A and B are shown apart, each in its own frame.
Chain A
Amino acid sequence: MSRQTTKSLYWQGVRDGAPFVLVVVPFSLLFGVVGTEAGLNLSEVMGFSVLVIAGAAQFTAVQLLSDGAPALVALVSALAVNLRMAMYSASLTPYLGAAPLWQRAFAAYFMVDQSYTVSYFAYENHPRWSVPERMTYYFGVVTPICPLWYLFTLLGALIGDRIPEAMALDFALPITFLAMIGPMLRTPAHVAAALVSVAVALLAAGLPYNVGLLIAGLAGMMTGAQAEVMLERRKAARQP
């Protein structure tokens, strides 16, 4: 493949992030509606979406607060939902760690499930991208996702529950992520990691505060790493 210009990498990121508009729009709209119904005013609803910018955690916090849970319990629960972000952060570090601090700070702020997944996938597939190229691509991916998060939170808060129940939009999140899993399954180690994580996630789904997701993620990562070591040993043994 020929060397791409910075500008075209940015736009490639925008294109790769674009399908996730289908997830972000309904999810943020819903947060605007739910937040307003829970009694938050417009600036408070927007405060959540701009300062926290993490859908599942925002819903968790508002849900618990409006149920009358103590603020500290709501805070710890919402942060637990976001613990996976630390794992994303670690996994991006080998690719983006050498970028200037201010760029890493912005990349951290915009780190959501979608920007992480799309970028990490691209970095694995383009190992020769330089650090600035990776950052350019990252901010391209973020462009169609994060501004819409703010905009549709605002819209949801303004128009409230007058939004018609859209058809099966709940399933936009599973579909868009499922579409990315197939291409990620590059080696038997990746397949093993995915299978183990799904099995553990389903078994542990009843645990509170998304703990099941973290256990499943760790189990999958350990499986993948272990499988990789075993596959390498087998390959080495076969060579004379």
Chain B
Amino acid sequence: MIEGRDLWLFIAALGIGTFALRFVFLGLVGDRPMPAWLLRHLRYTAVALIPALVAPLTLWPAATDGAPDPARLVAAGVTLVIGYATRNVVLAIASGALTLFGGLALLG
């Protein structure tokens, strides 16, 4: 484990690098027009990245060391369906959380 000045250099480098990734388009491209094909792809960034981010966490939760867990799977399904059906994010979170706690109490 690096320490002291080296560690601070590391933290600073990671901070600057991360900021650069966040700033690269928003800051440098700004309001210059982007080509239509790129904009068409960017319209699907959220709907592609967010499911990809949660799918492995849902199927193989860290809390169970990666073993699929019925209570978590059912809660995930309920959250998704309620969110899709009602378009109400808070209602979907509440339904999912209640299902999870209910499922964990029932199934252990």
Contacts and interface: CB of A to CB of B under 8 A. Distances in A.
Given A91-B42, A97-B30, A108-B26, A220 B57 contact: no
Query: Would you call the interface of chain B mostly helix, strand, loop, or mixed?
Result: helix
Interface string B9-48: 0111111011101111111011110100111111111111
A109 to B, nearest CB: 6
Contact of B47 (A85, A224, A229): A224
Interface string A190-232: 1001101110111001000000110011111111110011000
Contacts of A200: 52
A42 B89 CA distance: 36
B61 A170 contact: yes
Nearest to A227: B44
A205 B47 CA distance: 18
Given A89-B24, A107-B26, A171-B63, A54 B89 contact: no
Contacts of A190: 44, 47
Contacts of A159: none
B63 to A, nearest CB: 4
A217 B59 CA distance: 18
A52 B57 CA distance: 23
Contacts of B6: 71
Contacts of B90: 19, 179
B93 to A, nearest CB: 5
A19 B94 CA distance: 10
Contact of A61 (B3, B14, B37, B38): B14
A187 to B, nearest CB: 10
Contacts of B24: 86, 89-90
Nearest to A170: B63
A184 B48 CA distance: 10
A8 interface: no
Interface in A17-62: 19, 22, 38-40, 44, 47-48, 51-54, 57, 61
A54 B18 contact: yes
30 contacts: A44-B7, A51-B11, A51-B12, A52-B11, A68-B1, A88-B22, A91-B46, A93-B26, A97-B26, A97-B31, A168-B100, A168-B101, A173-B54, A175-B79, A178-B80, A182-B83, A184-B47, A185-B84, A190-B47, A193-B44, A193-B48, A196-B48, A197-B49, A197-B55, A202-B55, A212-B56, A217-B48, A218-B48, A220-B49, A222-B41
Interface of B: 1-3, 6-8, 10-15, 17-19, 21-27, 29-32, 34, 37-63, 72, 75-76, 79-85, 87-90, 92-93, 96-97, 100-101, 104
Interface of A: 16, 19, 22, 38-40, 44, 47-48, 51-54, 57, 61, 65-66, 68, 71, 74-75, 78-79, 82-94, 96-98, 101, 104-105, 107-109, 111, 113, 116-117, 120-121, 167-168, 170-171, 173-185, 189-190, 193-194, 196-198, 200-202, 205, 212-213, 216-225, 228-229
Given A111-B22, A167-B104, 5 more contacts: A51-B12, A75-B17, A120-B45, A173-B54, A197-B48
